A and B are shown apart, each in its own frame.
Chain A
Amino acid sequence: MKRQVKNIISAALIAAMVIPMSACSSKDASKPKDTGDSGKATKTETEAEGKVLNIQCWNEEFKSRVTDHYPGYEKTGDNSGKIGDVTVNWIITPTKDNAYQNNLDKILPENANASADDKVDIFLMEADYALKYVNSDTTMALKDIGISDDDLADQFDYTKDIVKDSNGAIKGASWQACSAGMIYNREAAKAVLGTDDPAKVQEAVSDWDKFNETAAKAKEKGYKITSTVNDTYRVYSNNVSAPWVTDNKVVVDANIKKWVDDSKKLVDAGETTTADLWSDDWSKGFFPEGKVFCYFGPAWLINFSMHADEDGSIANHGGWGYCNGPQSFYWGGTWIAAATGTDNPTLVKDIILKMTTDQTVLKDIATKDSDCVNSKTVLSDLANDSKFGNKILGGQNPYKELEAGAEKVDMSNISNYDQGCNEEFQAAMKNYFDGNASYEDALSQFNTAIVEKYPDLTTD
Chain B
Amino acid sequence: MSRKLSHTQRVNRWGYIFLIPFLLAFVIFQLIPLISTIYNSFFENYMSGLTHIGPTFVGLENYKKLLSGGELLQYTKNTMIMWILGFVPQILISLLLAAWFTDPSLRLKGQRFFKTVIYLPNLIMASAFAMLFFTLFSNVGPVNSILVSTGILRHHFEFMSHVGSVRGLVALMNFLMWFGNTTILLMAGMMGIDTSLFEAAEVDGATAGQIFRKITLPLLKPIFVYVLITSLIGGLQMFDVPQILTNGTGDPMRSSMTLIMWLNKHLYNRNYGLAGALSVLLLIITGILSLIVFKATAAEEVD
A-B interaction: yes
Stretch from A200-208, A387-395, A450-458 forming part of the interface with B: A450-458
Question: Which residues on B sit within 8 Å (CB–CB) of A138?
Answer: 50
Query: In the bound complex, how far is the Cα of B69 from the Cα of A136, in angstroms?
Result: 33
Question: Which residues on A sit within 8 Å (CB–CB) of B194?
Answer: 1
Stretch from A256-264, A323-331, A431-439 forming part of the interface with B: A431-439
Q: Is the CB of B274 within 8 A of A455?
A: yes
CB of A450 to closest CB in B, whole Å: 11
Given B49, B135, B265, which contacts A449 in the complex, CB threshold below 8 Å? B265
CB of B297 to closest CB in A, whole Å: 16
A135 in the interface (beta carbon within 8 A): yes
Question: Which residues on A sit within 8 Å (CB–CB) of B113?
Answer: none
Q: Is the CB of B251 within 8 A of A427?
A: yes
| Chain B window 67-101, contacts with chain A (Cβ cutoff 8 Å), 1 for yes, 0 for no | 00101000000000000000000000000000000
Query: In the bound complex, how far is the Cα of B274 from the Cα of A455, in angstroms?
Result: 10
Using A416-B49, A434-B158 as known contacts, say yes or no to A8 and B185 having CB atoms under 8 A apart.
yes
B161 in the interface (beta carbon within 8 A): yes
Query: In the bound complex, how far is the Cα of B163 from the Cα of A436, in angstroms?
Result: 9
Q: Is the CB of B188 within 8 A of A5?
A: yes
Question: Which residues on B sit within 8 Å (CB–CB) of A4?
Answer: 188, 191-192
> Among residues 13 to 66 in chain B, which have CB atoms less than 8 Å away from a CB atom of chain A?
22, 25, 29, 46-51, 53
B253 in the interface (beta carbon within 8 A): yes
By beta carbon, the residue of chain B nearest A417 is B49
CB of B253 to closest CB in A, whole Å: 5
Query: In the bound complex, how far is the Cα of B188 from the Cα of A2, in angstroms?
Result: 10
Given B51, B185, B193, which contacts A12 in the complex, CB threshold below 8 Å? B185
Question: Which residues on B sit within 8 Å (CB–CB) of A455?
Answer: 46, 48, 53, 269, 271, 274
Query: In the bound complex, how far is the Cα of B69 from the Cα of A108, in angstroms?
Result: 36
A274 in the interface (beta carbon within 8 A): yes
Question: Which residues on A sit within 8 Å (CB–CB) of B193?
Answer: 1
B189 in the interface (beta carbon within 8 A): yes
By beta carbon, the residue of chain A nearest B194 is A1
Q: Is the CB of B139 within 8 A of A275?
A: yes
Query: In the bound complex, how far is the Cα of B50 from the Cα of A225, in angstroms?
Result: 41
A20 in the interface (beta carbon within 8 A): yes
B254 in the interface (beta carbon within 8 A): yes
A115 in the interface (beta carbon within 8 A): no
Query: In the bound complex, how far is the Cα of B91 from the Cα of A156, in angstroms?
Result: 64
Given A9, A12, A280, A452, which contacts B265 in the complex, CB threshold below 8 Å? A452
B172 in the interface (beta carbon within 8 A): no
| Chain B window 240-274, contacts with chain A (Cβ cutoff 8 Å), 1 for yes, 0 for no | 00000001010111100000000001101101001
B140 in the interface (beta carbon within 8 A): yes
Given B22, B49, B163, which contacts A135 in the complex, CB threshold below 8 Å? B49
Given B139, B189, B191, which contacts A281 in the complex, CB threshold below 8 Å? B139
> Among residues 122 to 171 in chain B, which have CB atoms less than 8 Å away from a CB atom of chain A?
135, 138-141, 158, 161-163
Q: Is the CB of B50 within 8 A of A133?
A: yes
Q: Is the CB of B188 within 8 A of A430?
A: no
Q: How many residues of A contact B (CB 8 A)?
A: 45
Given A2, A5, A8, A454, which contacts B48 in the complex, CB threshold below 8 Å? A454
By beta carbon, the residue of chain A nearest B161 is A434
By beta carbon, the residue of chain A nearest B51 is A136
Chain A-chain B contacts (Cβ-Cβ < 8 Å), number: 95
B211 in the interface (beta carbon within 8 A): no
A279 in the interface (beta carbon within 8 A): yes
Q: Is the CB of B265 within 8 A of A453?
A: yes
Q: Is the CB of A445 within 8 A of B254?
A: yes
CB of A171 to closest CB in B, whole Å: 13
A284 in the interface (beta carbon within 8 A): yes
CB of A430 to closest CB in B, whole Å: 6
CB of B123 to closest CB in A, whole Å: 12
Using A5-B192, A133-B50 as known contacts, say yes or no to A431 and B251 having CB atoms under 8 A apart.
yes
> Among residues 189 to 213 in chain B, which have CB atoms less than 8 Å away from a CB atom of chain A?
189, 191-194
Given B46, B163, B192, which contacts A2 in the complex, CB threshold below 8 Å? B192
Using A9-B226, A20-B29 as known contacts, say yes or no to A453 and B247 having CB atoms under 8 A apart.
no
A332 in the interface (beta carbon within 8 A): no
Query: In the bound complex, how far is the Cα of B257 from the Cα of A431, in angstroms?
Result: 14
CB of A172 to closest CB in B, whole Å: 15
Q: Is the CB of B50 within 8 A of A108?
A: yes
Q: Is the CB of A456 within 8 A of B161?
A: no
| Chain B window 258-292, contacts with chain A (Cβ cutoff 8 Å), 1 for yes, 0 for no | 00000001101101001000000000000000000
Question: Which residues on A sit within 8 Å (CB–CB) of B185?
Answer: 8, 12
B222 in the interface (beta carbon within 8 A): yes
Q: Is the CB of A276 within 8 A of B247?
A: yes
Question: Which residues on B sit within 8 Å (CB–CB) of A81?
Answer: none
| Chain A window 48-81, contacts with chain B (Cβ cutoff 8 Å), 1 for yes, 0 for no | 0000000000000000000000000000000000
CB of A422 to closest CB in B, whole Å: 14
Q: Is the CB of B253 within 8 A of A431?
A: yes
CB of B172 to closest CB in A, whole Å: 21
Using A136-B49, A455-B274 as known contacts, say yes or no to A24 and B269 having CB atoms under 8 A apart.
no
A98 in the interface (beta carbon within 8 A): yes
CB of A449 to closest CB in B, whole Å: 7
CB of A460 to closest CB in B, whole Å: 16
A21 in the interface (beta carbon within 8 A): yes
Query: In the bound complex, how far is the Cα of B222 from the Cα of A369, in angstroms?
Result: 67
Q: Is the CB of B269 within 8 A of A17?
A: no
List 9 A-B residue pairs with CB atoms under 8 Å apart, sorted by A's residue number.
A4-B191, A5-B188, A17-B22, A430-B251, A431-B252, A434-B252, A437-B253, A452-B268, A454-B48
User: Hey, which bits of chain A sit against chain B, CB under 8 A?
Assistant: 1-2, 4-5, 8-9, 12, 17, 20-21, 24, 98, 105, 108-109, 132-133, 135-136, 138, 273-276, 279-281, 284, 416, 427, 430-431, 434, 436-437, 441-442, 445, 448-449, 452-456
9 closest A-B pairs by beta carbon, nearest first, are A436-B252, A8-B188, A136-B50, A434-B161, A5-B192, A132-B49, A4-B192, A452-B265, A281-B139
